């Protein structure tokens, strides 16, 4: 517990980070090191002139919580990061690797040799090793498996078999179980036999002779119930149970909805095989909301902010390429109207406004629908109502902003018809955006895709090409 800060202060973290940086700089620890990567981190440290000063930095790190060291590592550029990493005690490396982001984890693992990796992994529990495994060399994973005691080896194998995004991949094996035919007295003795209860033990899991799950015994109930009674009499039989194949997202909603701390995970035979805790759920929620945010602007995954340029390029190029294609299509739509633009060059200046507002408005609709879909609020019965409402909003927007823009265009170019065409194009583009904003995510959901991914590119593609086509088409019809 001595690592836990006693006051909440985010400034603490910033201060710790600054202190570490100061120590690095003051002692010129990084001076003279060539910035190349990967470099075995021992070499790095051996090249340092002022070895004696490392003690101070090491003492500082010693006092910090693993999660806080992880934050510091994230915020340091590569060389500084590896230097600090080398000063971390070997027993803590496993824990810290669990806390850092995937990208930073890769950079740390690349600097460790297989023996260190095996040692780091062995300090962890089976479910935690499974979390690290995808980033470890295959040989290291095998060595770790071999070194584990039988029970944990099976747990690790099981944990490795569950797909990412399922309850199985998030659960741990720290459940404390009691037999339903034991007395509460005996159950309490068992608990006292343990050094301390695993974190997040808010309830004990009650099983029968065959290991089948029978219900839970909340600690709070254990404390207030007469100890001579049997566990079976105090059990809370009606609890949410999870299967390892359940989606993590659904489990997270369940935790949120029913305000759970822990929940049993049972297999298809009703046997208790693990538990899911609220802290794993919180991690999942944070991670998936971060991923959604990153995906929206086309980053494949969380990026190490000091990643080499090529890594960043790889993380981002797909989206830019897709965007290039859609922009090119829009460009060809404009190309088809080059004659019209040549005759009335004002069209070139006005057309991006129509497409821009259309894209914006479409993104608003799509954001709302994607959220409603995720919350299970979109019912086929009421689809027409939903579409009608969005078209209504689009009409109102179209009339308000279309009129405004039409007037501005008239003032600028002294051409009433041009103003009228702009206003009408605006209205039609907003209607298109609303219709597409409702249907794109619904069609993607119907096809079994995640409606959130790529919706924004698709709608922008529609409103760009559509907006240019509508505006330039109307102009060609009515103005030339």
- By CB under 8 A, is residue 185 in contact with its own copies? no
Q: ∠ CA 117-119-124 to the nearest 5 degrees?
A: 95
> What is the CB neighbour count within 10 angstroms for residue 307?
17
What is each CA distance from 210 to 179, 213, 214, in whole angstroms? 10, 9, 11
> What is the CB neighbour count within 10 angstroms for residue 118?
19
Q: Which of 138/345 has CB closer to its own copies?
A: 345
- By CB under 8 A, is residue 480 in contact with its own copies? no
Instruction: Give the residue, chosen from 293, 443, 449, 480, that forms a contact with its own copies under the rule CB under 8 A.
Output: 293
- By CB under 8 A, is residue 210 in contact with its own copies? no
Instruction: Give the residue, chosen from 49, 90, 147, 282, that forms a contact with its own copies under the rule CB under 8 A.
Output: 282
- By CB under 8 A, is residue 236 in contact with its own copies? yes
Q: How far is the CB of 185 from its own copies (least distance, A)?
A: 12
Q: How far is the CB of 236 from its own copies (least distance, A)?
A: 6
- By CB under 8 A, is residue 253 in contact with its own copies? yes
Phi first, then psi: give them for residue 447, nearest 5 degrees. -80, 5
Q: How far is the CB of 154 from its own copies (least distance, A)?
A: 25
Q: Which of 83/341 has CB closer to its own copies?
A: 341
Instruction: Give the residue, chosen from 1, 34, 138, 411, that forms a contact with its own copies under the rule CB under 8 A.
Output: 1
- By CB under 8 A, is residue 21 in contact with its own copies? yes
- By CB under 8 A, is residue 122 in contact with its own copies? no
- Residues 6 or more apart whose CB falls under 8 angstroms from that of 127 comprise 155, 159, 171, 172, 173, 274
Measured distance CA(144)–CA(201) in Å, rounded: 27
Q: How far is the CB of 341 from its own copies (least distance, A)?
A: 5
Q: Which stretch binds its own copies (CB under 8 A): 108-116, 135-143, 154-162, 326-334?
A: 326-334
What is each CA distance from 112 to 29, 45, 77, 286, 297, in whole angstroms? 20, 13, 17, 28, 33
- By CB under 8 A, is residue 320 in contact with its own copies? yes
Measured distance CA(453)–CA(384) in Å, rounded: 24
- By CB under 8 A, is residue 269 in contact with its own copies? no
Q: Which of 96/117 has CB closer to its own copies?
A: 96
What 3-state class would DSSP assign to 169? Answer: helix
Site for its own copies in 68-87 (CB under 8 A): 68, 71, 74-77
- By CB under 8 A, is residue 150 in contact with its own copies? no
Q: How far is the CB of 58 from its own copies (least distance, A)?
A: 21
Q: ∠ CA 35-72-59 to the nearest 5 degrees?
A: 95
Measured distance CA(218)–CA(234) in Å, rounded: 9
Q: How far is the CB of 265 from its own copies (least distance, A)?
A: 10
> What is the CB neighbour count within 10 angstroms for residue 340?
19
Measured distance CA(246)–CA(257) in Å, rounded: 16
CA 429 to chain centre: 34
Q: How far is the CB of 113 from its own copies (least distance, A)?
A: 27
Residue of 438, 447, 327, 424 lying closest to 391 (CA atoms): 438
Instruction: Give the residue, chosen from 408, 424, 435, 479, that forms a contact with its own copies under the rule CB under 8 A.
Output: 408
Measured distance CA(169)–CA(123) in Å, rounded: 19
Q: Which of 114/352 has CB closer to its own copies?
A: 352
Q: Return the DSSP state at 469.
A: H
Measured distance CA(140)–CA(183) in Å, rounded: 44
Q: How far is the CB of 55 from its own copies (least distance, A)?
A: 23
Instruction: Give the residue, chosen from 242, 428, 432, 475, that forms a contact with its own copies under the rule CB under 8 A.
Output: 242
Q: Which stretch binds its own copies (CB under 8 A): 51-59, 139-147, 149-157, 354-362?
A: 354-362
- By CB under 8 A, is residue 30 in contact with its own copies? no
């Amino acid at each position: 517990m001595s690592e836990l800060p006693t006051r909440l202060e985010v400034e603490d973290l910033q201060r710790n980070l600054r202190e570490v940086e100061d120590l690095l700089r003051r002692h010129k620890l990084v001076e003279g090191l060539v910035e190349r990567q990967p470099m075995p981190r021992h070499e790095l440290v051996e090249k340092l002139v002022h070895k004696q000063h490392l003690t101070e930095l090491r003492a500082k790190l010693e006092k910090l919580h693993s999660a806080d060291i992880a934050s510091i590592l994230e915020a340091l550029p590569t060389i500084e990061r590896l230097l600090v990493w080398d000063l971390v005690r070997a027993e803590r490396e496993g824990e810290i690797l669990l806390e850092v982001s995937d990208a930073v984890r890769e950079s740390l693992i690349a600097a460790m040799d297989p023996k260190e990796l095996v040692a780091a992994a062995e300090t962890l529990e089976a479910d935690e090793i499974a979390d690290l495994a995808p980033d470890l060399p295959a040989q290291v994973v095998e060595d770790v498996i071999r070194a584990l005691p039988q029970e944990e080896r099976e747990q690790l194998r099981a944990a490795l078999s569950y797909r990412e995004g399922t309850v199985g991949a998030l659960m741990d094996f720290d459940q404390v179980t009691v037999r339903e035919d034991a007395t509460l007295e005996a159950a309490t003795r068992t608990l006292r036999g343990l050094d301390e209860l695993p974190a997040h033990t808010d309830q004990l899991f009650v099983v029968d002779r065959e290991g089948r799950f029978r219900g839970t015994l909340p600690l709070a109930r254990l404390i207030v119930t007469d100890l001579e009674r049997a566990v079976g009499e105090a059990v809370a039989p009606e609890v949410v149970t999870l299967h390892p194949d359940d989606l993590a997202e659904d489990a997270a909603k369940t935790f949120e909805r029913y305000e759970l701390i822990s929940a049993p995970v049972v297999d298809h035979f009703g046997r208790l095989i693990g538990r899911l805790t609220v802290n794993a759920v919180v991690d999942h929620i944070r991670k998936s909301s971060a991923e959604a945010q990153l995906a929206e602007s086309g980053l494949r995954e969380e990026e190490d902010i000091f990643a080499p340029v090529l890594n960043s390029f790889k993380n981002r190029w797909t989206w830019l390429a897709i965007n290039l294609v859609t922009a090119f299509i829009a460009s060809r739509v404009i190309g088809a109207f080059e004659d019209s633009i040549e005759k009335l060059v004002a069209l070139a200046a006005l057309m991006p406004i129509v497409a821009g507002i259309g894209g914006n408005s479409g993104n608003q609709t799509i954001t709302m629908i994607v959220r409603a879909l995720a919350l299970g609020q979109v019912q086929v019965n009421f689809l027409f109502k939903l579409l009608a409402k969005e078209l209504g909003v689009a009409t109102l927007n179209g009339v308000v902003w279309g009129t405004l823009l039409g007037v501005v265009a008239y003032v600028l170019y002294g051409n009433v018809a041009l103003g009228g065409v702009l206003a009408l194009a605006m209205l039609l583009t907003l209607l298109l955006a609303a219709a597409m904003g409702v249907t794109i995510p619904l069609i993607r959901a119907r096809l079994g895709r995640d409606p959130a991914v790529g919706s924004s590119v698709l709608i922008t593609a529609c409103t760009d090409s559509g907006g240019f086509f509508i505006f330039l088409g109307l102009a060609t019809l009515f103005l030339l």
